[in-house]
Amino acid sequence: MMNKSENGVVDEISELPDDVLVAIISRLTWREAIVTSILSTRWRHLYTYITRLSFSIRDPSEQSKDKYVQQLMEKEFPEHMKEIYDFLASNRGCSFLEEFKVHIPSLKGANIHRWLPLVLEKDVESIDIRMIYHSKAMSGYYSFPRRTLIKRKGGGLGSFQGLKSLRQLSLHSLHVEDRDVEIFVSNCTALEHLSIVGSYRLKKVSLVGHSKLKLLEISSSRNVVLIEVRDMINLVSLTCLKLQPKYSLQLNNVPKLVEFNSSDQFHLLGRVFLGILPSILDQLVRINVHSTDFEEVCTREPPIFLNLKDLKLQMKCMRGGRSDTYYQPLFWNCPNLQKLEIKFQWRGNEVFDDTFHKHVVKLTQVGFLGIEPRPHLKEVTLSGFIGCLPEISFSWFLMKEAVVLEKLIVELCDKTPEIRQKAEALAWEHIREITPPSVNLVII
């Protein structure tokens, strides 16, 4: 029979099976989940079985007063971390975790070595640890507790149940060493997604023979000099952002790799590709590159990407650039490109120079050298648009080269209302008039 409350209302929710109720409260925050224990004896211990745990502690901003930061470090943060540990200890009735996420300031008392083993004792599928560094706290970075984990389990990581089930691992602003990556990944036989961001102890990353890994990211680790990826037959996406300018990338036997994301400047990108076999370059379908100014001259031309379909470029631009070498050869070396997105990142608010626009007519008269039809390019997005000559002239260039272009999207810059309004007017004035009727022009 259905339970009835004192006023005669039927409590249908409490009649649901335990696994359904656990699935419901697993969508709550851990504090909200604990509160459900007071509803009735039926709910008293259900929160200890929730499968999604997310702990987030408000980190102090750079504008926070020293008094607040001190209070956080001495009282609030230690109390929060004790609550996290106590909750994980009480959660031992649940042997499965769909997700474990913790985003906390990198303050003294985080005690990763205490609560991470409790997580790894379960069948956990996803771990996301983000330590947020704060300059006022002066607590530095935490190290990945490999030695503690090995000591706790008697000399090996393999006895941790969670390593066999872990599919996603994201470590942000933890000191991870080369050996940590090799040992930890070799024990995570089901790992599909690995992301390491902000580790200054990484130097030579070597991943060999992992059969399940599909996505790999090594970013914001400025001491990395080598990334070796070999015999990883299921790797689909590789991301290398904000690394040392002269790092070496070595790829071999990655038959499913189709996506590469990099923050290297164009003149360095050609050197990075030297470590990649031409057959692997031919596999690439998507590339996302962060670049610098339009005037950056390439000292080494990137190779030809025969099968590249989707290219995203993020360009940091400076006011006053008037070079004819606005556009780098990476774009021209993609003969089968179908989708192009360029994000202009202009510095500062004083970005307009009216003398630019008198050059537009001259450009349309003299044209660009080496224009060849692009028989596959169908969609182009220009974001961060402010209406300067490089943007307008490139739009003209597209109309001449992209013979089957179907859609041109112009996303206006996210600056002051005055700049945005002027950018919109320039887009309609200069781009609309050169856009043929067959192309759908969208200005947003």
Which of the pair, 354 or 311, is modelled with greater confidence? 311
Q: For residue 359, is pLDDT > 50?
A: no
H helical segments located in 47-124 = 66-71, 77-90, 112-120
> What is residue 96's predicted lDDT score, i.e. its pLDDT?
84
Tens digit of each residue's pLDDT (9 = 90 or more) over 189-237: 899 999 999 888 999 999 998 789 999 999 988 899 999 999 999 999 9
In sign, the C-alpha dihedral spanning 241, 194, 270, 222 is positive
**Rounded percentage of the chain residues whose pLDDT exceeds 70:** 68
* Residue 140 clears pLDDT 60, i.e. is over it: no
Q: Please say if the pLDDT value at position 291 is more than 70.
A: no
Could you tell me the residue ranges of all domains in the chain?
11-50, 287-444
Mean pLDDT over the full length of the chain = 77
Give the model's pLDDT for residue 323.
37
The answer for residues whose C-beta is within 8 angstroms of residue 196's C-beta and 6 or more apart is 171, 176, 181, 202, 217, 218, 219, 221
**Chain centroid offset of residue 186 CA:** 23
So what's the pLDDT on residue 239?
Answer: 94
pLDDT digit string, tens, across residues 362-402: 444 444 445 567 788 999 998 988 887 777 777 877 787 88
Asked if 77 contacts 57 with a C-beta cutoff of 8 angstroms, the reply is yes
Of 4-18, 159-173, 404-418, least confident by mean pLDDT is 4-18
User: What local confidence, expressed as pLDDT, does residue 293 receive?
Assistant: 42
pLDDT for position 77: 79
In this prediction, residue 321 carries a pLDDT of: 46
State pLDDT tens for residues 263-279: 755 455 666 777 678 88
Pick the range with the lowest mean pLDDT from 13-22, 171-180, 314-323: 314-323
Q: Which of 41-55, 134-148, 271-285, 357-371 has the highest mean pLDDT?
A: 271-285
What pLDDT is recorded for position 289? 82
Region class of 217: left (phi > 0), else alpha (psi between -120 and 50), else beta? beta
Among 152, 149, 154, which residue's Cα sits nearest to residue 180? 149
Q: What is the pLDDT of residue 83?
A: 81
- How many whole angstroms separate alpha carbon 346 and alpha carbon 49? 50
Share of the chain above pLDDT 90, in %: 21
Q: How far apart are CA 325 and CA 409, in angstroms?
A: 23
355: pLDDT confidence band, cut at 50, 70 and 90? very low
Highest mean pLDDT, choosing among 82-96, 245-259, 328-342: 245-259
Q: Give residue 353's pLDDT band: very low, low, confident or very high (50, 70, 90).
A: low
Q: What is the pLDDT of residue 319?
A: 52
| pLDDT per residue as tens digits for the range 297-322 | 444 566 788 899 999 888 766 554 44
* Residue spans of alpha helices (H) in 198-322: 266-272, 278-281
Task: Decide: 157 and 163 in contact? Cβ < 8 Å.
Answer: yes
Helix (H, G, I), strand (E, B) or coil at 409: strand
